[in-house]
Amino acid sequence: MLDRLKALLEHRRELHEIAQMDARDLEDVGLSRGQLLQIVATPDEVAERMARMAARHGLTAVELEEYRQDYAHLLATCAQCHSTGACTHFLADPAASADQATFCPNHEDYVVLTAQPG
């Protein structure tokens, strides 16, 4: 229960910080207030699953964070995905390759991002 309370307080702090951001702060971050709120509201397990799938496609967490607009889109898509069972099964198989992840609604986006010059 203590962990839940800590998580709730952290979430409230994040929401407060986003609410206090002005236009310049948002511009510096490169995301809209709505995108930031959506990211904060997304469960950690969704972000972790998305990061693991991106890694399977050859994208590091640092690269994902660099593509801020893409990150927000990818995360929103992952949060609404109806293929979580297939995703979980795929990620559990260390021999599964990215080209087998066509069930993933972010698959094509990962391929495009992987092809972008670093």
Asked if 87 contacts 52 with a C-beta cutoff of 8 angstroms, the reply is no
Give the C-alpha separation, 49 to 87, whole Å. Answer: 8
**Degrees (nearest 5) of the Cα angle 35, 62, 108?**
70
Residue 4 has which token pair? 């839940």
Residue 32 has which token pair? 């809209």
Give the pTM: 0.76
List, for residues 3-46, the tens digit of each pLDDT value: 777 777 787 888 788 888 888 988 888 878 888 888 888 888 99
Give the C-alpha separation, 26 to 19, whole Å. Answer: 10
Q: What are phi and psi of 13, to 5 degrees?
A: -65, -45
Rg (CA), the chain: 16
List, for residues 61-105, the tens digit of each pLDDT value: 888 878 877 888 999 999 999 999 999 999 999 999 999 999 999
| Domain boundaries, given as residue ranges, for the chain | 1-41, 43-118
